[in-house]
Amino acid sequence: MTRVLLIEDDPAVRRGVVLGLRRHGHETEAVGTGEDGLEALAAFGPDLVLLDLMLPGMSGLEVCRRIRETSQLPIVILSARGDDMDMVIGLEAGADDYVVKPASGALIEARMRAVLRRIAPSLTDADVPAGPTVVGELEIDRGALLVRKHGKDLPLAPSELKLLLFLSAAPQQTFSRQQLLEDVWEHSYYGDARLVDACVMRLRAKIEEDPRHPVYVQTVRGFGYRFGPVPV
């Protein structure tokens, strides 16, 4: 059973989403403001947060940033704002996925499951050694699902960790954005390439010495991304 915290100010939407979540067997807590959502984090202890952007008082973006300051808890934004720029801003704030309302219960459930699978032990590739791998200044521990730089654990969000594990499993191999959407985000349709770009930007900010001149996650113009150094 997954514990889900829903932060949504519209009572009708809140009731509908909660009904769908409970129908799928999730233990659910729902609140109507960002402030109440932050308080519920400690009291309820969710496994995942569903977060609306347009909240009274503290915005959903600010809530997302506040959560990311102290936690790598999976966050799925659920918003009526479907413009590309809104999506990019939400992802840059630290969200792991973005669902545009109105959305069916089946779609919300599928996106939640995809995000949660990114932090499951099955993230590791069976063909890749589970022990720590040293790549430059990075230590990638696939068994423990931890990444360290200069010996210190890096606070990677689930999507960032899954992306790094996937790319580093095949050094020097280039993957298109669509390939990454299908294999990392488990999205089989076109239109969400900015999910990949935003996640790469956040990941670089944490693992690269100079994100403007990346060494580990490199851009292959016109194609996609690859993991640069070969493990030593």
Provide the domain limits for residue 170. Answer: 121-227
Last residue of a domain, one of 117, 135, 159: 117
Give the total number of structural domains in the chain: 2
Q: In terms of domains, do 8 and 104 share one?
A: yes
**pLDDT on residue 97:** 86
Before 211, cis peptide (omega within 30)?
no
Which band of pLDDT confidence, cut at 50, 70 and 90, is reported for residue 127? very low
Task: Give per-residue pLDDT as tens, 16-64.
Answer: 999 988 888 899 999 999 999 999 988 888 989 999 988 999 999 899 9
Q: How far apart are CA 93 and CA 65, in angstroms?
A: 6
Q: In terms of domains, do 93 and 153 share one?
A: no
Last residue of a domain, one of 95, 117, 139: 117
Tell me, what CATH number does 66's domain have?
Answer: 3.40.50.2300
Which band of pLDDT confidence, cut at 50, 70 and 90, is reported for residue 124? very low
**Highest-scoring range by mean pLDDT, 45-54, 65-74, 189-198:** 45-54
Mean pLDDT of the chain: 83
Last residue of a domain, one of 83, 117, 151: 117
Q: In terms of domains, do 131 and 175 share one?
A: yes
* Helix axes 158-168 and 193-207, enclosed angle (nearest 10): 90
Q: How far apart are CA 100 and CA 108, in angstroms?
A: 10
**Can you give the pTM of this predicted structure?**
0.62
Spell out the residues 6+ positions from residue 80 whose beta carbon is closer than 8 angstroms to its own: 54, 100, 101, 102
DSSP letter for 118, please.
T
Q: In terms of domains, do 113 and 125 share one?
A: no
Q: How far apart are CA 28 and CA 4, in angstroms?
A: 5
CB 147 within 8 A of CB 134: no
